[in-house]
Amino acid sequence: MRSSDLPLFPPIEPRRAGMMQVDDIHTLYWEESGRPDGVPVLFLHGGPGGGTSPAHRRFFDPAHYRIVMFDQRGAGKSTPLGEYRNNTTQLLIQDIERLRELLGIERWLLFGGSWGSTLALAYGQAHPARCLGFILRGIFLCTPAEIDWFMHGMRWFFPEVHEAFVAPIPPAERPDLLQAYCRRLFSEDPAVYLPAARSWSRYEAACLFLLPDPEVVDDWSDDDASLGIGRLEAHYFRHQGFFEPDELIAGLGRIRHLPAFIVQGRYDVVCPPATAHRLHAAWPGSRLRIVGDAGHSAFEPGTAHALVAATEQFRRHGAFPETDRPGAADL
């Protein structure tokens, strides 16, 4: 389903945009839209390497929010595309702080899905005083078990998709599928890394929705999109997100006092609900909303509705209702 058919705010254009050089290699695209003096909200895209799109602005009421988006290192309009050198979670956190200071923002709401939820948690734990709260979707904590699930476990639900993902890899290399893909994705030969990137990206895209969307698979097969997603996801996976074991759960004490709304598709195969449930259990003040008819994508009707409801709740009250008890609620 395209974003034009979803319960989102009308399309808007950025008020201003720019490029921010962060080192000798990377220059990042950023943009602002909505109300100049509104409540600042930072949208953090997924992937890593997924980039932002105009549809992402539409989760927020532009009459209330100052909407900030940027493409992380190696993603979207940031340059160089697919660059994995000087690309770590810690450097992304520094980039967010540099952008905050550039825009003169004191505190902002963090909104992120999938890898965006990972980065939101990591940034929040590094800079809790800069955060107003969190709206998180499709939770990913970048643990070895979650990475193994992505590489191997999704075959239990999408066997034909996983079979196509594995097919380019010789049988002798298949026991360590991540390293096999890394050898190809980090080659300097486009004839080697581009097919690998397309295969990786198509694999993920085919598993995003409860009802697969062939148009999204085609979009993600574009050379630019697939290079950012394939290379950077593999890069972060092989380094386990540049985290210590279970770092994001261990660090929740730094942000547990802040409001948090978690949206999770019941049939999310990319980031299964057990991770969202675990985060919620470790963060008693958070609210978890399970969407009963959704997979991983933010652009499924129930998930889009829940995300907009969360931004509207924060707009009205600066917080979220008390956590559902005894368990999470299905929409």
Residue among 33, 78, 114, 201 flagged as catalytic: 114
111's CB contacts (< 8 A; 6+ apart) are: 41, 42, 43, 44, 59, 60, 120, 134, 135, 136, 307, 311
Residue among 95, 226, 268, 297 flagged as catalytic: 268
Compute the C-alpha angle 289/121/311, nearest 5°: 45
313's CB contacts (< 8 A; 6+ apart) are: 261, 319, 320, 321
Residue among 56, 280, 296, 305 flagged as catalytic: 296
The burial of 303, by beta-carbon neighbours within 10 Å (0-12 exposed, 13-18 middle, 19 or more buried), is given as buried
Q: 11: which DSSP letter?
A: P
Strands 65-70 and 27-34 come out as: antiparallel
Strand order in the sheet with 65-70: 16-21, 27-34, 65-70, 39-44, 108-113, 131-137, 260-265, 287-291, 329-330
Indicate if 201 belongs to the active site: no
Indicate if 268 belongs to the active site: yes
Indicate if 296 belongs to the active site: yes
Residues serving a catalytic function are: 114, 268, 296
